[in-house]
Each structure stands twice: as structure tokens, then as C-alpha cells.
């Protein structure tokens, strides 16, 4: 005689309840064939909490907000945009900050930088209030490489300047806070 399963739930433990829907900040996810996908992401969307979740179909996506990332390779000293952050149509003040990493595999050599800046938008044009590069850590080979943040149009640009005849891989994270 098999003992698999419970034949009578009038005595003993009752089987647990299984959720059938998952409510998020924006939408509800419903498992399909008992499968619920939980994904992660990042977004430039503004959210004072720095995190948001959305539900659609059988998927929940959890996103870190107020951030942008970028990767680029330079092979010369041309100023190259790494991240473009749109300030949007609503007037406000932005404080941006982040870090940049540089790596040249041929030597090998590295650079690491941090930055911050203040920007205002009237919804059409960005105005730079001031910028600062806080830290520059560079191997001697990369001492002429550099980073810059600036306002162009209604955007904040994070740009890098490589070195002639030198391949440098760049990666960056830019975060922001906004008040309207």
C-alpha cells in the first residue's frame, strides 16, 4: 500500500496555500504553469527610492533606478561619449555622480575615477552648475587619459579621452538625484 499524499485533511497538517498572483508597484504577475520569472534590471527612470518593481504576464522585474551604465573602447585621444543622460521635459535640478574604470590590456595598465556635478534643466536646455572629478587613480601609462562631464542640449554627457595609438576599455556608472 502506498503512503504517498494525504488522503484526508480533516486531521493533521493542511497543505500550504500557493499564491496565484504577485502584486508589484506597477502591475501584477501571474505564474504560468507554476513558473514565475523574477528578473533584474537598471533604468534611468526617476524614483526617490532608487528601486522599483513591475509585474506583467508571469514576470516580475526589479529595477535599480536613477542610473545609467556605459561601455566604450577608445583607440586614440578623441573625446568619446560614454553615457548620455536625458534630463527630460520637466524643469528641475539634478545632482549626478558616479565612477569610471579604464583598462589597457597590452601593458597592462588601469585608471579609476569618480565624479560629481550639478545641472539644471528648464525642460529644453541643460545648464551646468559645476562639476568636479573627485579622484583619479592612474597607472603612469594612462596619466594623459581623462574623464569629463558636461551639458549638451538637454543632456548630461559623461565623456572619456583616451590616448593616441592605445586601446583602452572604459566602463562607467552614473547615478542621479532630481528635485522639481
Band (134; pLDDT cuts 50, 70, 90): confident
* pLDDT given for residue 13 in this prediction: 73
Q: Which residues pair with 55 in a beta bridge?
A: 60
Q: pLDDT per residue over 26-41, tens digit each?
A: 999 999 998 999 999 9
pLDDT the model gives residue 8: 58
> Does position 169 have pLDDT exceeding 70, yes or no?
yes
Return d(Cα 5, Cα 51) in angstroms, integer.
42
Element (H, E) at 129: strand 126-138
Q: Which pLDDT value is given to residue 12?
A: 67
- Dihedral (Cα; 68, 69, 75, 79), 10-degree rounding: 20
pLDDT tens for 36-92 read 999 999 999 999 999 999 999 999 999 999 999 999 999 999 999 999 999 999 999
- The pLDDT of residue 7 is 57
- State residue 2's pLDDT score: 56
3-12, 33-42, 138-147: the lowest-pLDDT one: 3-12
Amino acid at each position: 500500500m502506498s503512503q504517498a499524499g494525504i488522503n484526508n485533511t480533516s486531521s493533521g497538517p493542511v497543505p500550504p496555500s500557493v499564491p496565484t498572483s504577485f502584486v508589484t508597484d506597477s502591475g501584477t504577475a501571474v505564474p504560468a504553469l507554476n513558473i514565475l520569472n523574477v528578473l533584474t534590471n537598471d533604468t534611468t527612470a526617476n524614483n526617490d527610492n532608487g528601486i522599483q518593481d513591475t509585474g506583467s504576464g508571469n514576470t516580475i522585474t526589479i529595477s535599480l533606478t536613477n542610473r545609467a551604465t556605459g561601455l566604450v573602447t577608445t583607440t586614440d585621444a578623441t573625446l568619446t561619449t560614454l553615457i548620455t543622460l536625458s534630463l527630460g521635459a520637466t524643469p528641475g535640478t539634478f545632482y549626478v555622480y558616479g565612477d569610471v574604470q579604464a583598462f589597457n590590456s597590452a601593458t597592462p595598465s588601469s585608471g579609476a575615477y569618480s565624479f560629481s556635478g550639478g545641472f539644471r534643466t528648464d525642460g529644453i536646455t541643460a545648464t551646468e552648475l559645476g562639476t568636479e572629478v573627485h579622484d583619479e587613480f592612474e597607472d603612469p601609462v594612462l596619466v594623459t587619459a581623462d574623464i569629463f562631464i558636461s551639458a549638451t542640449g538637454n543632456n548630461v554627457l559623461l565623456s572619456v579621452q583616451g590616448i593616441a595609438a592605445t586601446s583602452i576599455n572604459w566602463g562607467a556608472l552614473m547615478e542621479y538625484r532630481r528635485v522639481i
